[in-house]
Amino acid sequence: MIPSKVNIEKALKVVQSFAHRTPVLRSSSLNEIAGCRLVFKCENFQKMGAFKMRGALNAIANLSDAQKAKGVVTHSSGNFGQAVALAAKNLGVTAYIVMPENAPEVKMDAVKGYGGIVTICESTLQAREDAAAKIQLETGAAFLHPSNDLNVIFGNATAAVELLEDHGDLDVILTPVGGGGLIAGTALAAHYYGSKSTVVGGEPFEVDDAYRSLLSGTIETNTTTNTVADGLRTHLGDQNFPIIQELVSEIIRVEEEEIIVAMKLLWERLKIVIEPSCAVPFAAVLREKEKFQNKKVGIILSGGNVDLTKLPF
């Protein structure tokens, strides 16, 4: 059963009070290259640099006052930790962020800068989960999952709602697929706010768990994580998978080289800084051009937190 529209309406109120309404960019030269009319929703310009701010805000706002008083906890090597720290600060809630010891120092500094309380652990998933569980036990903080949480998904949906408010005539909206929280939210937005928009995911061949999950009908995982799109290595969860099964038309897989070409094109033509993961949907459009021919295509550019000294091109 698909969650009702009222959840997204409530999320819009929360998110639009604290997050940026991000701009939508276009480029004639990219339209020519792709053979369709593209609009890009720039969540790389979102606060803390990624759409994850939206989901974190909505998840924290939906806690009870008693839960809020005890704080929130998550484990993250990247954007979600920053998003929870900043969203919690905005909402006056304590945030405990477990980070693996190999997380970039700049990301740890960002979390601390937002007032998050950082706990460093070994870089295994087990160590991260153990550290978060210990904090939950000690403080009573509520655990927040980056993608498999309905309130996170409703928050994420607001990016596509804004895009559809600006461009109601989109034939299709694409997002990258990692843990599934963004594409599930986008699919709900298209379902309730779109007039005719289908939703398509982009996923690297190297971590094509979501593609395989849609084929098999059960949540598949990845045995390797060998992709430049470091935000897309995770797999779907029981909260977002049913939404994706019901409302997502298709997942298009792309090669690593295609991701890098697409990323460089977006930097060059849109003049923006985006993460490799963020280039995957545009790579999918370029790979299957005939599918999008002359259509009006919206792409959610998910984030821009990238180490400028370690670019893949």
Q: Is 313 in the site for a second copy (CB under 8 A)?
A: yes
Residue 102 CA to residue 121 CA, distance in Å, equals 9
Catalytic residue among 41, 52, 68, 107: 52
Radius of gyration in angstroms for the set of CA atoms belonging to the chain, rounded to a whole number = 18
Could you give the 3-state DSSP secondary structure of residue 304?
A: coil
DSSP type of residue 141: P
Binding-site member from 118, 133, 219, 273 for a second copy (CB under 8 A): 273
Q: Is 270 in the site for a second copy (CB under 8 A)?
A: yes
To the query of whether residue 77 is one of the catalytic residues in this protein, the response is yes
Cβ at position 45, least distance to a second copy in Å: 6
Could you give the 3-state DSSP secondary structure of residue 47?
A: helix
Binding-site member from 100, 198, 267, 295 for a second copy (CB under 8 A): 267
How many residues sit close enough to a second copy to count as binding (CB under 8 A)? 23
Nearest alpha-carbon partner for 96 in 56, 133, 141, 127? 141
Q: Which is nearer to a second copy, 47 or 75 (CB)?
A: 47
**145 with 152: CB under 8 angstroms?**
yes
x/- string (CB under 8 A) for a second copy, residues 291-310? -------------x---xx-
- H-assigned helices in 3-64: 5-18, 28-34, 52-61
Phi, psi of 79 (to 5 degrees): -65, -35
- Only one of the segments 41-49, 158-166, 194-202, 208-216 lies at the binding site for a second copy (rule: CB under 8 A); that segment is 41-49
Please give the residues from 48 up to 77 whose contact with a second copy meets the rule CB under 8 A.
49
DSSP type of residue 42: E
To the query of whether residue 271 is one of the catalytic residues in this protein, the response is no
Q: Which is nearer to a second copy, 40 or 192 (CB)?
A: 40
Catalytic residue among 76, 77, 197, 213: 77
Query: How many Cα atoms within 13 Å fall on the side-chain side of residue 75?
Result: 22
Q: Which is nearer to a second copy, 32 or 65 (CB)?
A: 32
Could you give the 3-state DSSP secondary structure of residue 139?
A: helix
Please give the residues from 180 up to 219 whose contact with a second copy meets the rule CB under 8 A.
none
Residue 80 CA to residue 55 CA, distance in Å, equals 9
Binding site for a second copy (CB under 8 A): 23, 25, 28-29, 42, 44-45, 47, 49, 113, 264, 267-268, 270-274, 304, 308-309, 311, 313
What are the catalytic residues? 52, 77
